[in-house]
Amino acid sequence: MTDVITLRKTAPSRDEPPEPARMPTPAEVGRRLRQVTDAIGTVVRGKDDVVRLMLAGVLARGHMLVEDVPGVGKTTLAQALARALGLGFSRIQVTSDLLPSDVLGVNVFDRESNRFEFRKGPVFANVVLADEVNRTTPRTQSALLEAMSESQVSLDGTTWPLPSPFVLVATQNPREHAGTYPLPESQLDRFLFRLSVGYPSPQTERAILLARGDHEPLADLAAVTDPAEIQAMQAAATHVHVDASVADYAMRIVEGTRTSPLLSLGVSTRGALLFLRAAQARALLEGRAFVLPDDVKAVAVPALAHRVIPAGREAEEMDRRESARVLEDLLERTPVPDA
């Protein structure tokens, strides 16, 4: 190939995103997302608390790391979330030989047009599931950092915006260590929540076994919202009021992680910002236009536990339960502001 094509420094304009809907009231958001929760509950049973945290994550424009043993519904949860919200879905089955171009896309030379054309990778979707993300190399893991932070992809000097809204849901199986590459602190810090689905209750599991048969509940799940409505809800979340006393309460929790002798790494400034944004989203999810201390407490462990390291432990050896216990103890000892 003799001709060398110079890529443009700015990407061609993408398809126009849907025009955001009117900003809904908190009560309208609360009612709408209860409908979404009920819809997802027909597929992922008995996990409304996890579903609502996932929805809060979407409202806060955050990304979620779902960490649990295989076979408890992590992948199904991500698929159901995308379907119920009416968002485009893409799945990346992560393997040890996965390359950054397999995720982001690649420039391919088109002989007919005599130029390079960008072929988008699976990251170009509203909800992207990176299944077993810790099975790939740090090089490929780091390819997701720009997408998570700035909702864009840069390749060969060209920047490509990702669809809006954009949510990355990554899963990992914490008990399998052979052939895995622990996520570095810099990438963990970009996840809004780290969640665990957990086993269903015996009663729920019995109902699942009796009702399933050869029918796939996910096939019947219809969209409750659409991208424009989700964007409007995300905009509404940024307008949820945070009183100075509640902000001070959140900061006392953050500062406690930095001064605790039980922790060798505390919460970063980025983590503090995402923590408060998660509390705003949780308040809106509850149909309120203001944040309560209960909202802060409700999101503290899923929003902060993956950002701290227990004293005397390396990051790759970190036990999720141990860091959660330290945070729960810190919450008990932190004074709650008066209502």
Domains by residue range for the chain, with CATH:
21-210 (3.40.50.300), 240-339 (1.10.8.80)
pLDDT digits (tens, 9 = 90+) for 26-62: 999 999 999 999 999 999 988 999 999 999 999 999 9
- Residue labelled with tokens 């622990």: 182
Long-range contacts of 157-161 (CB under 8 A, 24+ apart): 157/7, 157/9, 158/7, 158/8, 158/9, 158/10, 158/11, 158/118, 159/10, 159/11, 160/11, 160/14, 160/105, 160/118, 160/120, 160/124, 161/11, 161/14
pLDDT level of residue 219 (50, 70, 90 thresholds): confident
Per the prediction, the chain carries an average pLDDT of 87
Tokens encoding 38: 């009920």
Q: In this structure, what DSSP letter does residue 241 have?
A: B
Determine the longest span between alpha carbons in the chain, in angstroms: 73
pLDDT level of residue 316 (50, 70, 90 thresholds): very low
Whether the pLDDT of residue 8 is over 70: the answer is no
CB neighbour class for 282 (10 Å; exposed up to 12, middle 13-18, buried from 19): buried
pLDDT digits (tens, 9 = 90+) for 158-167: 899 999 999 9
Whether the pLDDT of residue 139 is over 50: the answer is yes
CB neighbour class for 9 (10 Å; exposed up to 12, middle 13-18, buried from 19): exposed
Nearest in space to 262 (alpha carbons), one of 331, 333, 323: 323
What is the percent of the chain where pLDDT is above 70? 88
What is the percent of the chain where pLDDT is above 90? 61
Q: What is the pLDDT of residue 20?
A: 54
Q: What is the pLDDT of residue 227?
A: 95
Q: What is the pLDDT of residue 176?
A: 55
